[in-house]
Chains A and B, each alone.
Chain A
Amino acid sequence: QKEVEQNSGPLSVPEGAIASLNCTYSDRGSQSFFWYRQYSGKSPELIMSIYSNGDKEDGRFTAQLNKASQYVSLLIRDSQPSDSATYLCAVSASGTSYGKLTFGQGTILTVHP
């Protein structure tokens, strides 16, 4: 059973701080990694994708990937109350001909003013 583990939280940070979300995965052959944001009652929205080791930055978001450690993280700089949501880590499954994703349970982030 391929697994994706996330800290369930909730993670609470003050406005303006850096929020750090972590994810580990068990499938060593995984090639694609994604972070989705899901507001309460809404569908997941893609924030970041990352495919190679290192950092990838997009605005206030930075995704970090370390395939040797089977670890992917998401940093949110200058956190805003509007960032309060559940963040889902998704990892592609190896050995498939389609984009099968395994999702973590999600980390609830609360940014308080």
Chain B
Amino acid sequence: SQTIHQWPATLVQPVGSPLSLECTVEGTSNPNLYWYRQAAGRGLQLLFYSVGIGQISSEVPQNLSASRPQDRQFILSSKKLLLSDSGFYLCAWSVWSSGWQETQYFGPGTRLLVL
């Protein structure tokens, strides 16, 4: 069965510090991978998606970046955090069925507080 891991689970960082969040998926190969952010009291916002190694697409321009160095590894980074970067960061992977139906499953998330 497939599992998805994210770490760290929680993180408190000062404004202006760098960030690195990691997501790994087990039990599947060549998944589509996604980074979402959920700010307090707000909906899920898609930040990045990747359909393969080294292939990253950004949905929202911001001071965050993403990388996919391995097939089942997805990393979210920032060189300098802003207060507005606080939120719940979720990694998701997807599975295809019937040729066109794609279903996304979420990891446990990383709660980031920027002070």
Residues of A whose CB lies within 8 Å of any CB of B are 31-32, 34, 36, 41-46, 49, 51, 88, 90, 92, 97-101, 103-106
Contact = CB atoms under 8 A, between A and B. Distances in A.
A98 B43 contact: no
Nearest to B90: A43
Main secondary structure of the interface of A (DSSP, over half): loop
B105 A99 contact: no
Interface of B: 32, 42-44, 46, 49, 51, 59, 88, 90, 94, 100-109, 111
Nearest to A102: B46
A51 B102 contact: no
Contacts of B105: 46
A8 B33 CA distance: 28
Name the residue among A41, A45, A99, A101 with the largest chain B CB count within 10 angstroms: A99
Contact of B43 (A31, A41, A100, A106): A106
A46 B103 contact: yes
A101 B106 contact: no
